[in-house]
Amino acid sequence: MAAHRAAPPACVAELDELARTDHSYLMPGDQCWCLSEYLPGAGYRASRVNQLIADLKCRPTIAASDPRRRRYKQRAIAAIAAALRRCVNQRSVERSTWVPIPPSRTPCEADYDDRLLRVLGTAFGGYDLDLRVLLYQAASTAADHAQSRRSSLDSLYGVIRFDWQALGIQPLRERIVLFDDVLTTGKHYKCCERRLREVLPDIPIGGLFVARRVLPRRWRSLRIGA
């Protein structure tokens, strides 16, 4: 295996050359896998996946004040976690250090969303899971899905920080898996990979996503938990 190549998780689709063209920041050597596909701009009724992503992304302050929305968010976490557990075998989980891609809010804010940590913790409960928040945002940014004009790669990279304390907890596993809910342009993945590479130049890094955004002309429904 090449120095920067990560072995794929079991039963998860790896993005091929054609699929990577949907994600403008991804490079030919990037290894990314996804469980399903997401149709942007179609609303939560477009598919089971769109519904789950909408519920998963419900802001913590809204979930805290609305029992119904909180219940939907919890159900989405459970459904996605169940899909991950089915699709990624225990050996693959335990050979990896799992790093959530940071949310758009800083940890001190009320709308800091730990949904990715909760998904991974639920999915791989009972396994020898190495789950670490190695990356965080030093300043809040507007969520890309909530604005018409997305932030630049350089501006996003500038607020992502490496947590040295989390690194020192124990040795890393054989590879790092960056985890996120939706792969759109690949900007967040590339910024996080770049920040990790500054500290960890030799460990294989890959990305695993609940869903990837696809253009309508190539969309096909892949259901999670149906």
pLDDT score at 10: 46
Query: In the chain, what percentage of residues exceed pLDDT 90?
Result: 70
CATH class, range 13-215: alpha beta
Q: By the 8 A CB rule, do 101 and 23 touch?
A: no
21 or 133, higher pLDDT:
133
pLDDT score at 42: 79
Q: By the 8 A CB rule, do 177 and 196 touch?
A: no
How confident is the prediction for the chain on average, in pLDDT? 87
What are the residue boundaries of the structural domains of the chain, listed by start?
13-215
d(CA 85, CA 133): 20
Asked whether the predicted pLDDT for residue 103 surpasses 90, the reply is yes
Spatial CB neighbours of 23, under 8 Å, sequence gap ≥ 6? 15, 32, 183, 184, 185, 186, 212, 213
Work out the pLDDT band at 146, boundaries 50, 70, 90. Answer: low
Strands 96-100, 175-183: pairing kind:
parallel
What tokens appear for 163 in the block?
């947590």
Lowest-confidence range among 3-17, 173-187, 205-219? 3-17
d(CA 188, CA 191): 5
DSSP per-residue codes, the chain = --TT--PPPTT-EEP-HHHHTTSTT--TT--EEEEEEE-TTS-GGG-HHHHHHHHHT--HHHHHH-HHHHHHHHHHHHHHHHHHHHHS-HHHHHTEEEEEPPPSS-TTSTT---HHHHHHHHHTTTS--EE---EEESS----GGG-SSPPPHHHHHHHEEE-HHHHTTS---SEEEEEEEEESSSHHHHHHHHHHHHH-SSS-EEEEEEEEE--GGG-----S--
pLDDT score at 44: 79
One-letter amino acid identity for 208?
A: L
d(CA 34, CA 145): 19
Lowest-confidence range among 17-31, 51-65, 68-82, 120-134? 17-31
The pTM (predicted TM-score) of the whole model is 0.87
14-35 confidence digits (pLDDT tens): 888 888 888 999 998 899 999 9
pLDDT score at 11: 56
Q: By the 8 A CB rule, do 55 and 72 touch?
A: yes
Asked whether the predicted pLDDT for residue 151 surpasses 80, the reply is no
Which whole number is the average pLDDT over 193-208? 96
Asked whether the predicted pLDDT for residue 3 surpasses 70, the reply is no
